[in-house]
Amino acid sequence: MIYDPEEQVEMDFKALLAELGSATGIDFSGVKPSRAREGFGFMAVPLHTYLKSNPGIADAVKSLRPRGLIKSIDLVNGFLNIDIDNYAYAELVINSILSAGSKYGWSPRCGGSKVVIEHTSANPIHQLHTGHGRNMIIGDTLSRLHRFCGSEVSTRFYVDDCGPQVMYMALGYQSAKGLINERIERGTKPDKVLGAVYSITYAIGEIQRLSTAEKTVEGDEEKRKLIAERDEWVGILAKWSSEDEELVNALASSLGGVNVTEEVGRWVREYERGNPEIRGKVREGIERIFDGFKSTLSSFGVSFDAFDWESEIALDTGLAKALVDRIAAAGADYVERLGGAVTVDVERYAKDHNLMNSLSLPKFLPKAMLTRSDGSTLYLTRDLAYAVWCLDSCRPSRIIRVIGSEQTHPQAQLRVLLHMMGYDAGRIMHYSYEMVNMPGAKMSSRRGRIVSMDDLLEEAEERVWKIVKDRLGKEEAGKVVKAVAVGAIRFSFLSISPLKVLEFNWDKLLDLKQNSGPFIQYSYVRASSILEKAGYPTITSVAAPKSLSEEEVKLISDLGGLPRALAEVSSNLRLENLVDYVNRMATDFNVFYEKNPVINAEPELRDFRLALVTAFRIALGNMMNIMGIPIIEHM
């Protein structure tokens, strides 16, 4: 089976270069052919450096004869260009796709390994917001890509169940559990109501804290600052009261006699110690949140192989504290102690061991603090324990951690600390991404201001409904609406480099004519419609017609280059490049569709074009599955 049609062209080209090498006495084995610029053939190699010292190459090129898929050879401006036999290549590409079916796009270049992909990993305190959504969609697509390429993939959600944020949510939940559970039983999404609980509980705690501080502070300016800050939180609580007075009153009444900040601190300490009562109360709230999370994840076609709890891995095993001792012994010259606090000069260690480039470290690295003065561990220490646990327990060749760019320094510190302990830190990749900018929205989870993925999907569905409601029956429209909305959001979140802020735009998101999830789905539907009209013919092989249109040649070129493009993405993990390629493939199909009749073509052309449409539909469907864009037959 031919997995990569373009590689067959490259093999013929390399044989040609070997022949040229024999004629000139020059070794061209290090020269790599690549796609030629439009108008200069199919493939090319630069020979500038060779031509300067070996002018006889030009004469030797003239004596070369076409071979295999190569139709013509030309030397232009220092480039050796080849063009191909489009008819033979068309047969090769289409027959390769028909033969490979759902596996088309894979090639040996993709490789295959054991990979752990940790993504989403949102704090269980409220609904998944758009930032989590970008993480989720990137991580899920990376997982789908690696699985398609033959890797053994383990997808993991790191549950951050320690720390004060979770305790605010859990304390609030336990303080008004009856009301909250009643809301959930009536159909309110649990992570939505508990997100409100978290924000309200935090506001109550801040009002208490600032009111107490105001009474003891000296100086008018400081007092004014505290009053202004307290008034802001009073305003936030008032806003919540206007939206849900019953919930605010229930929490305020229950927490009125509790020093919320001190109680949260106590819960943090007791939870870390493994106090069964506090563990049970906190876990109950987290499990409720995860009921909501899993519903959202499922809506976008995302699932996990494991949910790893921070407390179980880093604290209950004693691993986090054991690693502090291990680092203190391994990197004694770089460790500083002040009371119970332990810090590590990771930048000095990295520079002394020439790690700045090899571990892709930022120019500046702050010292890594591993324990507080009371000896308790910090998030970095527990995160380090999780990384060590993953390396030792899962034994992957690579761990990809999809984490926001604001964590660049902690993730760099983590890799240095791993190296200090003797681990191959290069096996851990921080797949960084920037925020999602929603026009007119300023997010703050503590203040109760987020744009949730649930709300985003709901609005997308409402907008899609307006587009399709008159085209389809009610039952079919309902199925299509959800699929198109999910496809639109996933495509949008993947289409921009993760290193850039994603500027959300509804018009681009739902553009049926170009560069969008619905456009990709519409292209698939168009191909399905043609095949449906033809009775979905069984096609196992094809012969090229006597002539090919420009649009056919271009589409075949796209299809033939797909395995190579996918292999490149599997290597550099630039998902936006896959999106670009698929969009170009869909664009070229639509141009072909508009200019070349299929059903009404002459018999020879009709059979060939039906085979081409079938091949396109297979290839596009495979890529849609990787990107998580739902496949639909009607739209």
Task: Give all domains of the chain, ordered by start, each with its CATH number.
Answer: 5-84 (3.30.1360.70), 164-301 (no CATH), 453-627 (1.10.730.10)
Mean pLDDT for 290-296 is: 98
CB 100 within 8 A of CB 119: no
Mean pLDDT for 287-293 is: 98
Distance in angstroms (rounded) separating the CA atoms of residues 261 and 206? 8
- pLDDT at 213 (0 to 100): 86
Distance in angstroms (rounded) separating the CA atoms of residues 619 and 562? 8
376 falls in which pLDDT band (50, 70, 90)? confident
User: β-strand 43-46 against 79-84: which pairing, if any?
Assistant: antiparallel
Bigger pLDDT: 447 vs 140: 140
- pLDDT at 634 (0 to 100): 87
92 is written with which tokens?
């090769």
Burial of 42: CB neighbours in 10 Å, binned 0-12, 13-18, 19+: buried
Largest CA distance in the chain: 95
Q: Indicate whether 351 pLDDT > 70.
A: yes
- pLDDT at 30 (0 to 100): 85
119 is written with which tokens?
């993504």
Q: How many residues does the chain have?
A: 635
Q: Indicate whether 598 pLDDT > 80.
A: yes
Three-state secondary structure along 528-549? HHHHHHCCCCCCCCCCCCCCCC
Distance in angstroms (rounded) separating the CA atoms of residues 492 and 500? 13
Beta pairing partners, 84: 70
Task: Supply angle C-alpha 483, 143, 99, rounded to 5.
Answer: 75
- pLDDT at 340 (0 to 100): 85
- pLDDT at 442 (0 to 100): 58
- pLDDT at 430 (0 to 100): 98
Bigger pLDDT: 506 vs 97: 97
Q: Indicate whether 243 pLDDT > 60.
A: yes
Distance in angstroms (rounded) separating the CA atoms of residues 561 and 104? 11
377 falls in which pLDDT band (50, 70, 90)? confident
Mean pLDDT for 520-529 is: 97
Calculate the average pLDDT of the chain: 93
Q: What share of the chain is helix, strand, coil (3-state, %, to 5)?
A: 60, 10, 30
Task: Supply angle C-alpha 243, 244, 248, rounded to 5.
Answer: 125
33 is written with which tokens?
């052919």
- pLDDT at 295 (0 to 100): 98
- pLDDT at 38 (0 to 100): 82
Cα-Cα end-to-end distance for the chain? 34
- pLDDT at 441 (0 to 100): 58
**What type of residue is 275?**
N
Q: Indicate whether 9 pLDDT > 90.
A: yes
- pLDDT at 577 (0 to 100): 98
- pLDDT at 487 (0 to 100): 98
- pLDDT at 459 (0 to 100): 93
Quickly tell me which residue has 């900040």 as its tokens: 261
Q: Indicate whether 445 pLDDT > 60.
A: no
Lowest mean pLDDT among 47-51, 93-97, 115-119, 595-599: 47-51
What's the Rg (C-alpha) of the chain?
A: 30
What's the pLDDT tens digit per position in 205-241? 999 999 988 888 777 788 889 989 999 999 999 999 9
Distance in angstroms (rounded) separating the CA atoms of residues 430 and 421? 19
Q: Indicate whether 57 pLDDT > 80.
A: yes
Q: Indicate whether 444 pLDDT > 60.
A: no
Strand ranges inside 323-478, DSSP E: 335-338, 341-344, 368-371, 398-404, 428-433, 436-437
- pLDDT at 519 (0 to 100): 97
- pLDDT at 507 (0 to 100): 87
What's the pLDDT tens digit per position in 545-561? 989 999 999 999 999 99
- pLDDT at 440 (0 to 100): 62
- Which residues 6+ apart lie within 8 Å of 307 measured at CB? 156, 157, 159, 290
What's the pLDDT tens digit per position in 386-405? 999 999 999 999 999 999 99
What's the pLDDT tens digit per position in 14-52? 999 999 989 999 999 888 899 988 888 899 999 988 888
**What type of residue is 51?**
L
Q: Rounding to the nearest 10 degrees, give the CA dihedral for residues 288, 293, 296, 298.
A: -100
Distance in angstroms (rounded) separating the CA atoms of residues 176 and 251? 6
What's the pLDDT tens digit per position in 154-195? 999 999 999 899 999 999 999 999 999 999 999 999 999 999
- pLDDT at 477 (0 to 100): 80
